Amino acid sequence: NAGVTQTPKFRVLKTGQSMTLLCAQDMNHEYMYWYRQDPGMGLRLIHYSVGEGTTAKGEVPDGYNVSRLKKQNFLLGLESAAPSQTSVYFCASGGTDTSSYNSPLHFGNGTRLTVT
Amino acid sequence: AQSVTQLGSHVSVSEGALVLLRCNYSSSVPPYLFWYVQYPNQGLQLLLKYTSAATLVKGINGFEAEFKKSETSFHLTKPSAHMSDAAEYFCAVTKGGFQKLVFGTGTRLLVSP
**How many other CB atoms are found less than 10 A from the CB of residue B5?**
14
Residues of A in contact with B42 (CB under 8 A): 109-110
Check whether B29 has a pLDDT greater than 90: no
Q: How far apart are CA B29 and CA B95, in angstroms?
A: 6
pLDDT at residue A40 in the model: 85
pLDDT at res. A17: 97
Q: Does A2 touch chain B (CB under 8 A)?
A: no
Q: For chain A, which residues score pLDDT lower than 70?
A: 1, 98-102
Contact present, A33 and A56 (Cβ < 8 Å): no
> What band does B41 get if pLDDT is binned at 50, 70 and 90?
confident
Identify the residue among A30, A97, A107 best suited for mutation to test binding to B, counting B beta carbons within 10 A and taking the highest.
A107
Q: Which residue in chain B has the smallest CA separation from A95?
A: B99
Q: How many CB atoms neighbour CB A19 within 10 A?
A: 16
Give the C-alpha separation, A59 to A77, whole Å: 16
- Residue of chain B with shortest Cα separation from A57: B100
pLDDT at B90 > cutoff 60 = yes
Residue B32 CA from chain centroid, whole number: 12
Query: In one letter, which amino acid is B56?
Result: L
% of chain B residues with pLDDT over 70: 91
- Angstroms from B112 CA to nearest CA on chain A: 22
The answer to whether A83 and A116 have CB atoms below 8 angstroms apart is yes
Closest chain B C-alpha to A49 CA, distance in angstroms: 10
Name the E strands within B27-79: 32-38, 44-50, 56-58, 64-68, 73-78
Instruction: Give the pLDDT band of residue B95 (cuts 50, 70, 90).
Output: low
Residue A27 has a pLDDT of 92
Average pLDDT, chain B: 90
Q: Is the pLDDT of residue B103 over 70?
A: yes
pLDDT of residue B74: 95
The CA distances from residue A61 to A36, B45, B70, B90, in Å, are 10, 24, 35, 22
Distance from C-alpha of B21 to C-alpha of B10, rounded to nearest angstrom: 9
Task: Say whether A110 and B43 touch across the interface (CB within 8 A).
Answer: yes
pLDDT in tens, B50-87: 877 788 999 999 999 999 988 999 999 999 999 999 99
DSSP summary character for residue B22: E
Average pLDDT of the segment spanning B21-44: 88
Cβ-in-10-Å burial (0-12, 13-18, 19+) of B92 comes to buried
End-to-end CA distance of chain A: 36
pLDDT above 70 (res B23): yes
- Cα distance from A28 to chain B (closest Cα, Å)? 16
